[in-house]
Structure 1
C-alpha cells in the first residue's frame, strides 16, 4: 500500500469516527463506539459517497445508537474496518441465510434475533442444541425451527430497508449454491 493510500485511509477512518462520536451521548471514542449497533443495510443504487469520504460505496449500513436513538448510515467500507459493530458479519449472515434457508442459521444471525427480541431465550437455546454445522440427519422438526428463525431474521432485515432501496441486488456477492454458501463477502 502506498503512502497516499495509508493517508487516505486514516483520513476516512477519522471522518467516520468524528461522525460517530458527534452523534453519540458519550464524547469518548471508546464509550461512543459501544453505543452503536447495526440496524440494517441496503444496496446503494445512487453510489453516494460514504460519510468517511470513500467514494465507492455500494452497500449502505444503517447504524442506530442504543442510548439516544440517533441513526447513521455508513458504507461497507466502514464496516470492514470496525468489526465490533458487526455489520460485516451480519451482512454475510444475511447473504448466506438466503442460500441455506433450511439447513444453517449463522451465529451472528441468531445473536441478532435474540438481541432484537425477535426470538426468546428458549428458542435460542433450542437452536443451540441443534448446532451450527450442516447435518443431513436433522429431524423435520429441527429443520422447521431453523427455517422459522431464518425467515424471522431475513424478514426483519428486509423490513428495515428504506423505501426505494433494495437488498437482494447487492452487487459484490458471489453466486453460490444452497449446499455450499462459501465465502460471500469479497
Structure 2
C-alpha cells in the first residue's frame, strides 16, 4: 500500500485518474440528490395528482350520466307544472278535445262540463263524456288526453262492449291550482 501512496505522489496519470474518479463520484452523487431524486419525487406527486384527477373525472362523468337521465324527468315535471298553473279555458279545452276526437276516431255522443269547484288547493272542472268507439280508438283517445294543455284525470270509466263497439261514460276532471302558480 505504501508503494501505491508513493506512486500516487509521483505519477501524474494515477493522480489524474484517482481525482477524476473522486470527482465523478461526487458529481454523480450531486446529480442524484440534486436532480434525479427531486424529479422522481415530483413524478410521484404528479402521478398521485393524475390519479386524483382521473377519479374526479370519472365522478364527473357519472354525475353527467345521471343528469342526462334526469333531463327527461325534468321536462315532464316542467310540463306537469305548466299544466297545473294554466287556468281552465273551455275554448282551449274544447280545441284539444276536437283534435283528440279527430285523431283517434272516437265518437262523442254527449258531453257536459261543470263549473270550476274548489277541492283543496285545486280547482276542478268535471267533464262527462258519453262515447262510442272501437277498442284501439278508445285506447288512442285516452293516450291523447295526456297531450292536453291541461291536467286531465280520468276519475271513472264505465264501459261496455256491444258488438264490435265500446259504449261508455268517461268522467274526467281537469285540475289546476287555485291562483295559477305552482311553488318551486
**TM-score bracket, shorter-length normalisation:** under 0.3
What TM-score comes out, normalization by structure 1 length? 0.24
TM-score, structure 2 length as denominator?
0.24
Rg larger in structure: 2
Between structures 1 and 2, the one with greater helix share? 2
The structure where strand makes up a greater share of residues is: 2
